[in-house]
Amino acid sequence: MTKEIPSELLRVIDANINRLKEGIRVVEDILRYRDSNKPLALKLKTLRHKATIDTYKELLAQRDSINDVLRPSTKSEQTRSSIEGILVANFKRAQESSRVLEEIFKLQETELSENFKSIRYELYTLEKEIILHEM
């Protein structure tokens, strides 16, 4: 990275990169293992691998998951009524996280901002394809 990220934003970045990758991974694994859909699972895997930055140790040093003020799950997070509900929730989680990263990196690193914007738009496309055509 060319510019130093302010330390108060590292925790925001860490949480959102984790959330983005986790959301994509849930969808990827459903398409991979339940549906045996290699082309879509591969697209998701590739997208998940695009969601990286090169400051892993800096991010890890700022992680404070024990003291996260919103750590407890809400009732809606504990309940899913269908696989489609799981897919939708995880697409939304990933899209929202990529948007946060896009906005944060506008302050420091335009190239990374554009990377996360690209991920977000690809997620919108995959969500439509998977939810409307696969379910």
Q: Give mean pLDDT, residues 13-41.
A: 97
The pLDDT of residue 135: 60
Higher pLDDT, 80 or 123: 123
pLDDT at residue 1 is higher than 50: no
User: Residue 112 CB: number of other CB atoms within 10 A?
Assistant: 21
Q: Cβ distance 116 to 101 under 8 Å?
A: yes
What size, in residues, is the chain? 135
pLDDT at residue 73 is higher than 70: no
- Mean per-residue pLDDT of the chain: 89
